[in-house]
Amino acid sequence: MIGREVAWRIFAAEYNSSRLEIKGEGERAPSYIVSPLGAMVNRVFLVGVLTDLENIGTGDEPLWKGRLQDPTGNFYISSGQYQPEATAALAKMEAPAFIAVVGKTRTYSPEEGTMYVSIRPEKVRVVEARERDHWVLETCKATLKRIDAMTDAKEMTAPTVDELVKLGHSPPLAEGVVKATGHYQDVDLGRYREMVVDALKFLLPEYQSELESEMPTELSQRPEEVEDEETAEAAEEEKEDKVLAIITSLDKSGKGAAWDEIVEEVKRLGMDRTALEEVTNSLLDKGLIYEPVLGRMKRI
């Protein structure tokens, strides 16, 4: 009997960078997408902000297309008649919303050498912001484990599954890391460490003590650095609150606040266009606002 595949926690930036697919042999053999950090993914567990949702099919044969945002980027989901449970759930949802998704990986290769990835949901449900934050924390931990495994593999002349398992890595991760090192020429681990740090920035305070015990030495900070950062973060949060208030006040039609109008309003606060873009990018990453259409910002 073929066992049910584990649902991996993975950020959009890592998943969307995947370019290696391993197709199963046989009618029911599973296929996998191997990420640059060695996640050998058949199924995923995701939590984020559903920012776009549209039925591009018909009432009788719906085909829902959606975009799910996490702190690092966007997942693209597609659900139709062969996913009745997920399709029925999506039909009752409206963007924006915090949602959790368990789904299977999908690939699309329009031409040789090009591969795009998406998700085919199996189950979808609406969740609270705290569940999204918990997922972010757990996904950071999982990502750091993959970074550690890749670091160990890079120190080996020819990494093997057995060697990595002896170092304490799980067999599925060890297998994925060996395949990843054979396919991806030079994975920039620094980029993924920075991705984890960025993802952690908007976690709620109650997670901080747990976070400190999980973070490796290279991600830790000296006390004086934390104090300076807290002061800077307080100033940034004040700017974000003001911009959120402006977006809310300008969104009189319910279709979002026009970008040009936001720019004019923040000038009165002494904020230039560049500073505004930094603030809105932060709010987008945190899932507090989204762009319903190009040139408009809407509060979630």
Q: What are the φ and ψ backbone dihedral angles of 32, each rounded to 5 degrees?
A: -135, 150
Domains (ranges, CATH) in the chain?
A: 7-127 (2.40.50.140), 135-219 (no CATH), 224-299 (1.10.10.10)
Report d(CA 253, CA 97) in Å as an integer.
19
The answer to whether the peptide bond before residue 96 is cis (omega within 30 degrees of 0) is yes
| Distance of alpha carbon 265 from alpha carbon 250, whole angstroms | 9
Radius of gyration of the chain (CA): 21
Q: Which residues of the chain have pLDDT under 70?
A: 1-5, 24-29, 112-113, 202, 204-233, 285-286, 294
What DSSP letter does each residue of 218-253 carry, written as one string? GG---HHHHHHHHHHHHHHHHHHHHHHHHHHHH--S
Residue 53 bridge partners (DSSP) = 66
> In angstroms, how far is CA 261 from the centroid of its own chain?
30
d(CA 42, CA 138): 19
What pLDDT, on a 0 to 100 scale, did the predictor assign at position 204?
A: 54
108-161 pLDDT per residue, tens: 877 766 778 889 998 899 988 888 888 998 999 999 999 999 999 998 888 899
The pLDDT of residue 220 is: 42
The average confidence (pLDDT) of the chain is 82
pTM higher than the cut 0.75: no
Kindly report, residue by residue over 252-268, the tens digit of the pLDDT. Answer: 888 889 888 998 888 88
146's enclosing H/E stretch is helix 129-154
